[in-house]
Chain A
Amino acid sequence: MSEIIKISNLVKRYGDLVALDHLNLSVREGEIFGLLGPNGSGKTTAINCVLSLLKYDRGDISVFGKPMTPSSYDSKREIGVVFQNVAVFSQMSVYENIDYFCSLYVQDRALRKQYVDEAIEFTGLFDCRKKRPPQLSGGLLRRLNIACGIAHHPKLIFMDEPTVAVDPQSRFHILDGIRQMNRRGSTIVYTSHYMEEVEQICSRIAILDRGKCIALGTADELKGMIRTGETITIEGIVLDEEALSRIRSFENVFSVDYRDQVLTLKCSTGGNLTAILHTLESDGITFGRVFSEKPTLNDVFLEITGKNLRD
């Protein structure tokens, strides 16, 4: 697959703050590329630099194999953007908004009408196509925001946290739509704080922190990068210090947390549950419910970026 976006050595400073610190990334054609990172990690800044909205201090950005500049109108014609903040005209109806933004890309009237109708159907906005944004719910507004960004059938779509503050139904609808657009041939760059969403839809994921890409790969590849291979939780268990010491000495267990009769074990590999339960039964220790979980993207994220609060 060819590279549709290539970011090389990108540096962006806001005064003394380094927002992007020699960032290198590439997005391949046809993938849904997830961009993860704590608040202020540089996700939106990176997107705005790629879109030529922001000045940057150093580095190169190419899109569709050509350097990206504010006057790269041919490239811009193939790009769709769904911004984090809803960006629509409150004085115009749903239809008028989509038609206006589509008209910036598509001049042919008949084709534009077809695209606008498709976008309305795609985002499920047909029943409210004559309503104005102030009359729409939060979820419908988000869907309108998406429709305005994708109506012109772009080859490359940037979606910056498109599911913030929407209900589960709308979120399902949006995620399903993203998969459809990808199947239709669009490459998608997707940022979100919802790890399960990213894990669900993204073919590759980059984790950004302090302006750098600190991990890149598929969800499974990222999970393989962290120490935790399995998390075992045992509820309703009463342990003395001697039993806890024995558990700590188990092979593969690197973290033991016991509080309120709940035991949480972190193991470096999977497949430890049977051996642990067997030992507990041998010692005559009773217990309630037992869970064994493989690491999630959330675990990966927290382990890689740390658990300290960010701004």
Chain B
Amino acid sequence: MVQFKYRLIQALRQRANIFWGLFFPLLLATLFHVSFGGIMDTEHFETIKAALVTEESNETFEQALGGLDRNILDLRKMDPETAEKALADGSVAGIFYSGQTPRLTVAKNGTAETILSGILRQYNEYVRIASDLAVSDPDKIGTFFQYLQSDDTDYIQNVSLGGSSYDTITDYFFALIAMACFFGCYTGQALGEQSAANVSPLAARRAVSPETRLKSILTDLLVGFIIQFVSVLILLFYLNFALDVHVLAHPAQMLLITALGCLLGVSFGIFVGTLNAKAGTRVLLTTALSLFLCFLSGLMYGQMKQVIEDAAPIINRLNPAALISDAFYYLNVYEDTAAFASRAALLGIYSAGITAIAVILLRRNRYASI
């Protein structure tokens, strides 16, 4: 117990790690909230003008677009030439092309263009869900189509299959929570460095003591996990109660995913911490990999995950940050328990695997060089 107390004290006093694990996600959440505030506020929303060009008949898509709130989307059917002219002179923000695979053309980057892109993405997502439901849960497909045809499918204030409110901006917050979980790697790395005798003299001092290696590794893992889990809990409460981003609709499942994500982040950090490389290389590896995985999960570009899902879905299954945000998404938006469970299971497997590797590395009895 005394070792746990001191390891906890020591880890909590590492200000840089606490900043990255706790304060940076809080800061980023606040920045997201401020940045997306205008988009989320429907009362101050300017209607977006868009053109619809029918290349090939796709009634479902056209009905879905037509069903959107006209205060948000002013959609006009045009022929291709007129639509392109309208896009060029700025009288429409984008052109939807109806067909087997609907697509969107925009002339520039901006809020209106982002929203149009979000509409198309959401449509594609609905189609995918419908296809999945047709195979896995045909009973629910009726409810799903009812929902699509209902008046509740306006763009900003969506209602999930389970009834909880949701908007596309929440995606960014899901990716942010995934990042916060994964940033446990910083604390994990510091703990790992203090456990591998070939990495630091401190670890060598611990290794020559009679404390069993397994006990020392599990103590460190628990310390790292608790610090990161509490940090992410603070973030969840901040999002839910201070920023009014509803991420705690399913608290038990959210906590499960958060816990698995934190365990994965800390284990990964411990694994990197034990690598016999220069200190700078280890920090670089942790930072580069965690940010890259978060980028792929949509933290910097909201549609990244969808782009990957369309092109190479295996990457989303392998990327733990994408798994975490996916699990949140399926839980809060679609209440698709099967998809949620599969993401949770994958996360569990990855967490167990990385933890096992970290334990095996640290339990190595003797080193070739120190």
Contact = CB atoms under 8 A, between A and B. Distances in A.
A55 B364 CA distance: 11
**Interface size class of chain B, counting residues whose CB lies under 8 Å from the partner chain:** 20 to 34
Contacts of A52: 208, 365-366
A72 to B, nearest CB: 9
Given A14-B369, A54-B370, A89 B210 contact: no
Nearest to B190: A91
B314 interface: no
Interface string B355-370: 0000000000111111
B13 A53 contact: no
A76 interface: yes
A148 B205 CA distance: 9
Contacts of A96: 6, 9
A79 B208 contact: yes
A170 interface: no
A99 B205 contact: no
Nearest to B366: A55
Interface in B265-294: none
B197 A53 contact: yes
A83 interface: yes
Nearest to A49: B366
Contact of B3 (A77, A91, A92, A100): A100
B210 A92 contact: no
Given A52-B365, A54-B367, A101 B205 contact: yes
Interface string A50-94: 011111000000000000011101101101010111111101100
A14 B370 CA distance: 11
A53 B370 contact: yes
B311 interface: no
B14 interface: yes
A76 B367 contact: no
B82 interface: no
A86 to B, nearest CB: 7
Given A89-B10, A96-B6, A83 B201 contact: yes
B370 A48 contact: yes
Contacts of A53: 197, 204, 207-208, 366-367, 370
